[in-house]
Amino acid sequence: MKVTNNQGNFDFEIKDVNPKTVKKIVIIVVAIILIAILGSQSFYSVKEQEAAVLLTFGNAETVSDPGLHFKIPFVQQVEKVDTTIQSFAIGYDIDTNASIEEESLMITSDYNFINVDFYVEYQVSDPVKALYASEDPQAILKNMAQSCIRTVIGQSEVDSVLTTGKSEIQAQIKEMLTTRLEERDLGIYLVNISMQDAEPPTDAVMEAFKAVETAKQGKETALNNASKYQNEKIPEAEAKVDQIKKGAEAEKEQRIKEAEGQVARFNAMYEEYVKYPVVTKQRMFYEAMEEILPNLEVIIDNGNGSVQKLMPLGSFSDTVINEGGTTNE
């Protein structure tokens, strides 16, 4: 077959091609491609600072030996895990060194606010658990670290956090965080956690804290004053109650004795009356007159529009001087 282009510049002749030859060529090319794909899927390499997790029908095993390894294509899968020491910051951004206040701002046991930054280092201890025990072990570790930090800082005084107590605080946080990691069994372990900076918060926060502290002191003062007033008034009230009770008891005893005396007097008079009724009546009448007449004032109307007032008999009978110079009462 002869072919000529539109401009007629050249021409060439294509001889008839054997279909069997073309088929063989296609088969060879496909075979080469399949062999290349299978070869690329049959081997994997493990570096010095990583480990591989080989999955065979859901069964995971760890391969930590560095070098080239074989796997069954499309049956086995490989996930690689970085086994170097990894890290993250709490309270600030590692790249920009900018403070993250929602992470760094904390309150101490003596009710002071403080900004504290920490640097956490961890490493994978079990690649299988690190991959499949949780969705994001680093996020879980960070949340646990923040919880431990706030717990320990909340139990420490501000002077200790700012000055001499940093080492002890770091040790307490590390011990608490290590225990919690072991309980969760995430496939990672804590290498170290260190306090970077500790400083008072911004002026605005300090002013707010001072206002809270002032209110707290006012509350304490009010409570102390109320307690003092209570301690003063309760003894006074108890003393008055005791005094009233004693007065009531004394009056009770007095009334009882008076009543008993009157009863005894009445009984004595009754006995005399039974013996001598006429004489007793006269005696009682005279005794009553002795009590009434000295204080009795008498006004007599003379009938002519004038009145005459008689003074109490006692004024005439108190002292009467006889002719002999003696006094009769």
pLDDT > 90 fraction of the chain, expressed in percent and rounded: 23
Domain boundaries, the chain: 2-81, 85-201, 205-275, 277-321
Give residue 88's identity as a one-letter amino acid code: F
59-63, 73-77, 222-226, 322-326, range with greatest mean pLDDT: 222-226
Q: Determine the 3-state secondary structure of 61 from DSSP.
A: strand
Task: State the pLDDT at residue 215.
Answer: 83
Task: State the pLDDT at residue 2.
Answer: 46
Residue range 289-323, pLDDT digits in tens: 777 766 666 666 666 666 555 555 554 445 444 44
Span of 8-17, 63-72, 110-119, 193-202 with lowest mean pLDDT: 8-17
Q: How is domain 85-201 classified at the CATH fold level?
A: Tetrahydropterin Synthase; Chain A (3.30.479)
Task: State the pLDDT at residue 260.
Answer: 87
Q: Between 273 and 153, whose confidence is greater? A: 153
Span of 63-67, 115-119, 145-149, 231-235 with lowest mean pLDDT: 63-67
Q: How confident is the model at residue 325 (pLDDT cuts 50, 70, 90)?
A: very low
Span of 12-26, 116-130, 213-227 with lowest mean pLDDT: 12-26
Query: Over 80: is that where the pLDDT of 21 sits?
Result: no
Q: How confident is the model at residue 3 (pLDDT cuts 50, 70, 90)?
A: very low
Residue range 117-169, pLDDT digits in tens: 999 999 999 998 988 888 899 999 999 999 999 999 999 998 888 888 889 99
Q: How many contiguous H segments (helices) and E segments (strands) does the chain have?
A: 9, 15
The CB-side HSE value for 127 (13 A sphere, CA atoms) comes to 19
DSSP character string of 71-125: --TTTEEEEEEE-S-EEEEESB-TTT--B-HHHHEEE-TTS-EEEEEEEEEEEES
- Which pairing describes strands 86-90 and 105-107: parallel, antiparallel, or unpaired? unpaired
* Distance (Å, whole) CA 134 – CA 185: 10
Query: Over 80: is that where the pLDDT of 44 sits?
Result: no
Q: Determine the 3-state secondary structure of 11 from DSSP.
A: strand
Task: State the pLDDT at residue 1.
Answer: 47
Task: State the pLDDT at residue 264.
Answer: 86
Region for 212 from its dihedrals, namely left if φ exceeds 0, alpha if ψ lies in -120 to 50, beta otherwise: alpha
